[in-house]
Structure 1
């Protein structure tokens, strides 16, 4: 079978995307997804997404996301933004979109070349002496460090991701350095990719909320510098946690291609 695919990136977080509205690809074909994401023997990507027919009233499409290891994964923020841009490219949506992902319904808007993706509300942030933990659609460990540019994200991230209390299920791991005001630099080790990625949408969302929860910032808008580019997170704090959380940044098509499967 000759499979048509598209390559997208959002601040360096890159994805293979397949228009699967006709069901041409089985969601059980995890070996294929892993091969397509392989940077040596396939296309190369941090993850793969299928855009599928909507199942719920009011939805424009369904997002199905797989990690680079081929396994279906929890929510991917940058992936969601790229899939909205892809849906606009296909003519499914114009400047607004509603879709369902593994963590529920999402709303998004395309404006001034940026995709604003509404994330799920967050009601609990666990605070520890050395770090914070929260779920922004995917689980995230957040810790402050110094000299982030020189930090050993690969080894330290792997150690935390596989250690207590995460073990086999694992957690994404974010290392954060405050730059000034409401600007923070972030580097992320992603489970499923098992490596540092240039950007992680659910990760920077977790960082922004964590920085507000620990009074590192008092604004309801946080700017994040990742190795792949700049993202912004806005939110509304409430007595129950955080709502109206938006992940904002660019999402671009890199190329279209065909591959034999």
Structure 2
């Protein structure tokens, strides 16, 4: 059968988006891996699936699969693309969209300038909720890797993140250290790893090694997690410009107990179909 899809990206973090509201297909892990292959398939960082909700208060269910076929809880750049996709496909007519995810319910808002603002929910900081193995909640934790100690923050934005402060993201060992921290035993569900360079209270540079993918050009939940981590350490204010290799996101977080609001662009690349 033919599978119809849309290729999209959020600041270069690219997605294959599939409407499972008007079409019905089965995509097992091995098929997702083949579709993700950049030489022999469509090629993407994540596969995004739009489904009818199981919660009657939500408009859609949003599912995310990494290039390795693993299903994950949340993807911020994908959420913005999701909002543009369902509006462009006329699956909904409203600018405010309520979406069910494995990491919790989120609210998407399409702005007049075409950007999408996403209420990413309240960050989870209690270690067992991330999940992260620690005796108590702290702004930072010491992580032992190959005989060396690294200071990291641990935050969940519906998916687990480790955030390290670095002097210069261009010289940070993203590939080497990211792959080790992703699979560190203190993160039982693995994690995304952010390398954050603080420029001032209102701006950071960030690179992210994503769980099950590797380094991507942008990571929305990673940007949110970095701002939360920086603010908890007293390094950042409520409104922060996050510069990623693929572009810029604006993050607003008033502090503990409040939702993180992420705003940025979403772009359609092309429409396609592939025979399964």
Q: Which residue of 1 aligns with 2:158?
A: 137
Shift of 1:181: 3.4
* Contact 2:249–2:264, Cα closer than 8 Å, also in 1: yes
- 1:114 maps to what in 2? 115
Contact 1:232/1:248 (8 A) holds in 2: yes
C-alpha distance in 2 between matches for 1:226 and 1:236: 22
What are the equivalent positions in structure 2 for 1:203-214 lying under 5 Å apart? Answer: 203-214=222-233
Q: How big is each residue's C-alpha offset from its partner over 1:41-75, in whole Å with a ceiling of 9 and x where there is no partner?
A: 11111100111112222322110111111121121
Cα offsets for 1:177-227 (capped at 9, x unmatched): 01233100000001111x10111111110001111110002x211110000
What residue in structure 1 maps to residue 265 of structure 2?
250
Measure how far apart 1:23 and its partner are: 5.1
User: 1:95 Cα deviation (Å)?
Assistant: 1.5
Q: Does 1:175 align with 2:174?
A: no
1:54 pairs with 2:46: no
TM-score where L is the length of structure 1 = 0.92
Two-structure CA RMSD over aligned residues (Å): 1.5
Q: Give the SS at the match of 2:268.
A: strand
Q: Name the counterpart of 1:165.
A: 186
The residue that corresponds to 2:141 in the other structure is: 128
- Structure 2 CA distance, aligned partners of 1:106 and 1:134? 17
1:229 aligns with 2:229: no
Q: Is the 8 A contact 1:161 1:172 kept in 2?
A: yes
Instruction: Report if the CA contact (8 A) 1:23-1:52 is conserved.
Output: no
Superposition deviation, residue 81 in structure 1: 1.2
Match of 2:33 in 1: 34
Q: Using the alignment, how far apart are the partners of 1:5 and 1:18 within structure 2?
A: 5
- Residue 216 (str. 1) matches residue 235 (str. 2): yes
Q: Please say if residues 109 and 117 of structure 1, whose CA atoms lie closer than 8 Å, have aligned partners that are also in contact.
A: yes
For structure 1, the residue ranges without an aligned partner over 5 or more in a row are none
Number of equivalent positions = 254
Distance 1:123 1:156 in 2: 24
Deviations 1:124-176 (A, max 9, x none): 26422511101111100000112211222111111211234236x31111001
Q: Which has the higher strand share?
A: 1
Secondary structure of the 1:165 match is: coil
Contact 2:48 2:62 (C-alpha < 8 Å) held by counterparts: yes
What SS does the aligned partner of 2:87 have? helix
Contact 2:10–2:267 at 8 Å: present in 1 too?
Answer: yes
Q: Give the one of 211, 214, 235 matched to 1:191.
A: 211
Offset, 1:88: 0.8
3-state SS, counterpart of residue 65 of structure 2: strand
Measured after TM superposition, the shift of residue 250 of structure 1 is 0.3
Cα separation, 2, equivalents of 1:257 and 1:231: 28
- The structural deviation recorded for 1:113 is 1.4
